Chain A
Amino acid sequence: MSDREPQSALAAAIDQNKRNERVTRAWLLAPALAIILAISILPLGITVVYSFLTPGTYGGVTWEFSTDSYVQFLFQRDIFDDTLVFNSAYVSIFLRSIGLALGATLGALILGFPTAYFIATKPREQRNIWLFLITLPFWTNLLIRTYAMLLIIRDEGIINIMLMKAGIISSPLTILYTDTAVFIGLIYSFLPFMVLPIYASLEKLDFSLVEAGYDLYANRLKVLFHVIVPLAKPGIVAGCILVFIPGLGAYITPELLGGGKKLMIGNMIAMQFGASRNWPFGSAAALILMALVIVVLLVNALAARRGASNNG
């Protein structure tokens, strides 16, 4: 790409004056930032405050400072001598959720990238129809779709019946109520979040670059990984973020398809605001989760910057 320099036409045209650009930028950012600051960040402040308070009887909080919620995450007081002992329960819940979310992200990428590419290489009039076809199933509610999914992967479900009729297996595969079912369910739930951003960045792919790639590498796989994937990178990154983060907090899918025998982060946190009546701990766990996500995003941003400086 020749125009890597962040020279903006829009801004250049307005004026070369930096101040003007700053004003334009402020105006453009205003609506999104205003909505999110008012409706998401302000409540986040409330969450931070909650996490340092003491749980109220029957939910809510009592205005008494405490760091117990954070201590409780890693340690529990021994029942007999009140010393702190390491408690792996919450950590293992976090690790399992992260593992499943990572797996789902990878799975969605493996399925989603070719799909996005397929759509992007269709004739232009058809692309929006394909895009619509991808999102249409998601206009029905997730709960209902998950129930439908359940019908498909059940022991007596469509997949098993087909495999058995085809003679591939002799007894039904138990997929439902296992981690495999959760994995399939998560990929299914988040697939469009992967396909759409990748499509958005592939759609404008300049195939003269691909052609040049063939002159250099002359091998499809090499062209794919050295030319197409780097060009689609912003879309891939966006897609991975949109799948990984909601995947971490997901709990309808794990509950229904996994049989609800294991807690996920989202569920564990929701429980604190319900039957466990411990809002401060729920808030603290949520903030820990958010901190983890921010670390992931920062690492990603740093890697991107390093990659960019290497290229340039």
Chain B
Amino acid sequence: MAEPMTAMPASPQPRQRRRLVRDLKAMPGFTATAWLCIVTLYLPILVLIAFSFNENRSVVLWTGFSLDWYAKALENDGIRNAAWVSVKVALFATVISTIAATMAALATTRTKPFIGQGLVYGIINQPLMIPEIVTAIATLSLFALVKKLTGLNGIGYLMLAHAAFCIPFAYMPIRARLETMTLTLEQAAADLYAPPLKVFTLVTLPLLGPGIVAGAMLAFVVSLDDVIITLMIAGPGETTLPIYILGAIRRGITPEINAVSTILVAVSVLLVMLLFIVQRRMQR
């Protein structure tokens, strides 16, 4: 990855300049706000983790420590299957939507403005604009028709539906990234007669990396949280974790759900740590 900072004109006194740059970046109160944000984001998660060890059945009253809920959660076929379906659907939807969104973002920022650009924005953002329940009911009618016509069944419908509403979430950060990215490097590479594909894979894509990561993460989160569309479209054996929880509300949520959530968080932290370690190794 190229870093414009390093390309700055050499300064007469490098030491001083570096100090100055650090100061330039500092904004009063920003670091404090960021930390406040992090604390706010994590406080509920910490509470949730704590309550997964609660011996009591309640998710609101603490009585004592126990590992019971982990045992129960692991024994509970319903929760286990639901967690697995959730992850499977979210991964598929993230991959598809991020690829599609990246391509679309390139098309809307890296070619000359075109007639109908506004319409394209509108279409890409459409899944955001209408309340889920309406999309859910309408999609349900549509899929029922498709099933009747093709005889195809399965989890593919659910995955595609998730991919559709994940696209705008993935598209937004990627497009924002492309719009702020200067074209200098790409132009330089093109001026050197690098073939377009090479310009793309060696210059554009690495520069775009943070946008893609941000987009993919949003897509993943949005898919994991979806309730209503999933409720309407999921077929037999396709209950996701949110659907399971929704169904359980009237009958009382038990800390089993907290236990599963804690396991999911732990697994994802482990996976990401592993990813970082592998990355480090490869860079070396």
Contact = CB atoms under 8 A, between A and B. Distances in A.
Q: Do chains A and B touch in the complex (CB under 8 A)?
A: yes
Interface of A: 1, 3, 6-14, 18, 21-22, 24-25, 27-33, 35-44, 46-47, 50, 110-112, 114-115, 117-119, 121, 124, 127-129, 131-145, 147-152, 154, 158, 188, 191-193, 195-208, 210-211, 214, 220, 224, 231-232, 234-235, 237-239, 241-242, 245-246, 249, 252, 265-266, 269-270, 273, 279, 282-283, 286-287, 289-290, 293-294, 297, 301
Chain A at the B interface: SS class: helix
Nearest to B210: A203
B179 to A, nearest CB: 4
Contact of A197 (B114, B163, B173, B269): B173
Interface stretch (B40-48, B64-72, B147-155): B40-48
Contacts of A138: 221, 224-225
Contacts of B227: 142-143, 252
30 contacts: A3-B183, A7-B112, A13-B195, A33-B104, A40-B139, A111-B36, A111-B37, A112-B37, A114-B37, A117-B27, A118-B34, A129-B276, A131-B210, A143-B227, A148-B51, A151-B47, A200-B174, A200-B211, A201-B180, A203-B177, A204-B210, A208-B8, A242-B168, A242-B169, A270-B133, A286-B133, A287-B130, A290-B129, A293-B128, A293-B129
B73 to A, nearest CB: 13
Contacts of A25: 107, 111, 114
B176 A197 contact: yes
Contacts of B220: 135, 139
A157 B219 CA distance: 32
B202 interface: no
Given A32-B100, A133-B38, A147-B59, A197 B214 contact: yes
Contacts of A195: 37
Given A141-B224, A242-B172, 8 more contacts: A8-B183, A13-B196, A33-B123, A128-B213, A143-B249, A145-B44, A200-B173, A241-B125
